[in-house]
């Protein structure tokens, strides 16, 4: 058979359902082979969002999402998406084309060394040099992409290799079990926890990609140890749990940090230093047990006293089943912090001033969505508000990127989330800056007939940077822009446009958009004066005297 047919068969063998991307002439053999496959081609309007979608498929399913581009300019457009998958630990495969490698009549036209370019931001990058080697290269790339810690992989398929003839066949998949945590390491962890006085559990990103919720809930409920989470650990244990203290949306100085400062031990489950730090370790400060699939990476602000390395679910189960509840544990201060955090977060949740305050916005979105419904956030200052104030009730229902933290991924990740979870309502939440970075994918969403809502928070500015600029005492400069009329913009794509003109309209509009088929875009003016008041001044002035 033709090598490109074999490539497609290898992807089918891996269970691939979608390929996202923009083909170029160097991909035409591959495209022709794809025409005879059940794998669906999802044509996008730019390669970057195709990469974000593939990465999100990987994030949600554990199996690499696949994206396709041409050589040169198509491949460079994947760069940010590769970094997004790699930092975010999302299994994802990029396939790029290339001119023929055996003989070419085009000089260096469009040719860059894509394989080399991908090296620093992938786990595996390779040019296919013979049709016969496609099965082993594809299998190995998938294996590496999925192996903990997951990430991005890249294969380059040159035109002449795609057109070769081969008699090889896909390599059958084999079972892989992750190693369990070492029993002695678990014993030490148990002894450290039993001897501590004010232990806390922290749930990080790694806990959100494998279904470990059940064991974590058992551990928390057996011991009564309160827990908090990182932005990417949201929802692993439902945040309406009475022992949930909050999300460390900021690295320092939030109300939650009053509890962290008093803790003498943090059991850090699934945290990874790529995330914005949930707290800073200091010499002589709180001790940390690192429980993760992979060993801790030492950093100035992260140097745990113990690593428990292996399958997280198994490690948590081992700890939970062998630990004894200690009479010396004292959670009284944590309970006071919880009460205080809850009261603080409830402030302004009903505020009816217009433009809408972030606290009310978060409360309204939470109110209209069910436990399994999904929000996908782009990057802007609202991410801090959603991380802090939104209660996630299930794993992977708050898709945010606290690793590369790139703008432009909110809409594509929401689209992929809807494809993976057609039963869930999906709302993309974007700033007016981040939305415009990939807004053209509205066309793709309309073409795919996705039922979804895009909530645009309109401040006509790069608000996050304005907030930081103000916090550093600089004058307001260089961060304002004008927006298109988002209602007309939506309509131009065949989507429905909605405008929030008073605060009480938001819930009504959201209820309509999430229950009406099609793509809906909501233009929602937002009042960001609260950023400075609450996230800067109030927190600086706060004292942990609760």
Ligand X SMILES: Cc1ncc(C[n+]2csc(CCOP(=O)(O)OP(=O)(O)O)c2C)c(N)n1
Binding site for Mg ion (CB under 5 A): 431-433, 459, 463
Output 382 or 493, the one with its CB closest to Mg ion.
Answer: 382
Q: Which stretch binds ligand X (CB under 6 A): 252-260, 306-314, 389-397, 462-470?
A: 462-470
247 binds ligand X (CB under 6 A): no
Closest CA to 170 of 144, 140, 147, 146: 140
DSSP 233: G
Q: How far is the CB of 483 from ligand X (least distance, A)?
A: 9
How many residues belong to the chain?
Answer: 546
Q: How far is the CB of 416 from ligand X (least distance, A)?
A: 18
Binding-site string for ligand X from residue 341 to residue 380, where x marks contact by CB under 6 A and - marks none: -------------------------------------xxx
Residue 345 class from Cβ within 10 Å (0-12 exposed, 13-18 middle, 19+ buried)? Answer: buried
Q: What are phi and psi of 535, to 5 degrees?
A: -85, -15
Closest CB to Mg ion among 277 and 525? 525
- Nearest to Mg ion of 91, 463 (CB atom): 463
Instruction: Give DSSP secondary structure letters for 308-363.
Output: EES-HHHHHHHHHHH----TT---HHHHHHHHHHHHHHHTTTT---SSBPHHHHHH
Query: In the numeric block, which tokens belong to residue 161?
Result: 């290799």
Binding status of residue 162 toward ligand X by CB under 6 A: no
Closer to Mg ion by CB, 135 or 433: give it. Answer: 433
CA triple 85-88-93, angle to 5 deg: 20
Alpha helix locations (H) across 202-295?
206-209, 213-223, 256-262
User: In the bound complex, which residue of the shown chain has the CB atom lying closest to Mg ion?
Assistant: 431
When binding is defined by CB under 6 A, the residue of 463, 503, 510, 519 that contacts ligand X is 463
Contact by Cβ (8 Å): 307, 281: no
- Please check whether residue 391 is in contact with residue 476, taking contact to mean a CB–CB distance below 8 angstroms: no
Q: Rounded to an integer, what distance in angstroms lies between the CA atom of residue 48 and that of residue 67?
A: 10
Structure tokens at 363: 């409360």
Out of 244, 340, 382, 385, point to the residue binding ligand X (CB under 6 A): 382
Q: Which residue is nearest to ligand X (CB)?
A: 431
- Would you count residue 49 as binding ligand X (CB under 6 A)? no
461 near ligand X, judged by CB under 6 A: yes
Q: Which two tokens stand for residue 20?
A: 């996202």
Pick from ligand X, Mg ion, none: which does 94 bind, CB < 5 to 8 A by kind?
none
Interface with ligand X in residues 426-455 (CB under 6 A): 431-434
Partner from ligand X, Mg ion, none contacting 381, C-beta within 5 to 8 A by type: ligand X
Q: Which of 141, 145, 405, 534 binds ligand X (CB under 6 A)?
A: 405
Q: Would you tell me which residues interact with ligand X (CB under 6 A)? A: 378-382, 405-408, 431-434, 457, 459, 461-465
């Amino acid at each position: 058979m033709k090598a490109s047919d074999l490539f497609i068969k290898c992807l089918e063998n891996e269970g691939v359902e979608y390929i996202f991307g923009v083909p170029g002439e160097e991909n035409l053999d591959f495209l022709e082979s794809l025409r005879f496959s059940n794998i669906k081609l999802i044509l996008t309007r730019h390669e970057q969002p195709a990469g974000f979608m593939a990465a999100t498929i990987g994030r949600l399913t554990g199996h690499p999402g696949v994206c396709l581009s041409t050589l040169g300019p198509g491949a460079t457009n994947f760069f940010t998406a590769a970094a997004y998958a790699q930092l975010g630990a999302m299994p994802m495969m990029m396939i790029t084309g290339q001119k023929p490698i055996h003989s070419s009549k085009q000089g260096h036209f469009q040719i860059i060394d894509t394989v080399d370019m991908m090296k620093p931001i992938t786990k595996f990058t390779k040019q296919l040099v013979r049709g016969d080697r496609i099965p082993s290269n594809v299998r190995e790339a998938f294996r590496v992409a999925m192996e903990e810690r997951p990430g991005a992989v890249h294969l380059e398929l040159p035109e002449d290799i795609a057109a070769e003839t081969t008699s090889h066949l896909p390599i059958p998949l084999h079972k892989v079990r992750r190693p369990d945590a070492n029993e002695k390491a678990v014993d030490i962890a148990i002894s450290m926890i039993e001897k501590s006085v004010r232990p806390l559990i922290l749930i990080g990103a790694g806990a959100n990609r494998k279904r470990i919720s059940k064991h974590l809930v058992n551990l928390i409920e057996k011991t009564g140890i309160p827990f908090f989470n990182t932005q990417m650990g949201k929802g692993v244990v439902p945040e309406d749990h009475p022992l949930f203290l909050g999300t460390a949306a900021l690295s320092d100085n939030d109300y939650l940090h009053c509890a962290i400062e008093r803790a003498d031990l943090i059991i850090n489950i699934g945290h990874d230093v790529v995330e914005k730090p949930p707290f800073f370790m200091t010499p002589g400060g709180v001790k940390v047990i690192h429980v993760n699939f992979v060993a801790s990476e030492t950093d100035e602000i992260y140097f745990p006293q113990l690593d428990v390395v292996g399958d997280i679910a198994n490690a948590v189960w081992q700890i939970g089943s062998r630990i004894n509840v200690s009479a010396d544990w004292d959670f009284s201060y944590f309970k006071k912090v919880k009460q205080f955090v809850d009261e603080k977060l409830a402030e302004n949740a009903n505020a009816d001033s217009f433009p809408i305050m972030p606290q009310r916005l978060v409360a309204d979105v939470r109110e209209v969505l069910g436990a399994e419904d999904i929000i996908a956030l782009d990057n802007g200052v609202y991410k801090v508000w959603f991380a802090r104030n939104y209660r996630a009730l299930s794993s992977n229902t708050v898709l945010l990127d606290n690793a590369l933290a790139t703008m432009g991924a909110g809409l594509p990740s929401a689209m992929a989330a809807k494809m993976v979870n057609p039963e869930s309502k999906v709302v993309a939440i974007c700033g007016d800056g981040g939305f415009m970075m990939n807004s053209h994918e509205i066309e793709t969403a309309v073409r795919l007939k996705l039922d979804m809502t895009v909530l645009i928070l309109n401040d006509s500015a790069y608000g996050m940077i304005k907030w930081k600029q103000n916090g550093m005492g600089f004058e307001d400069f260089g961060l304002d822009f004008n927006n298109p009329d988002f209602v007309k913009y939506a309509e131009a794509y065949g989507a429905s446009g909605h405008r929030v003109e008073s605060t009480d309209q938001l819930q009504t509009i959201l209820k309509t958009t999430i229950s009406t088929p099609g793509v809906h875009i909501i233009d929602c003016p937002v009042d960001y004066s609260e950023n400075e008041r609450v996230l800067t001044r109030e927190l600086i002035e706060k004292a942990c005297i609760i």
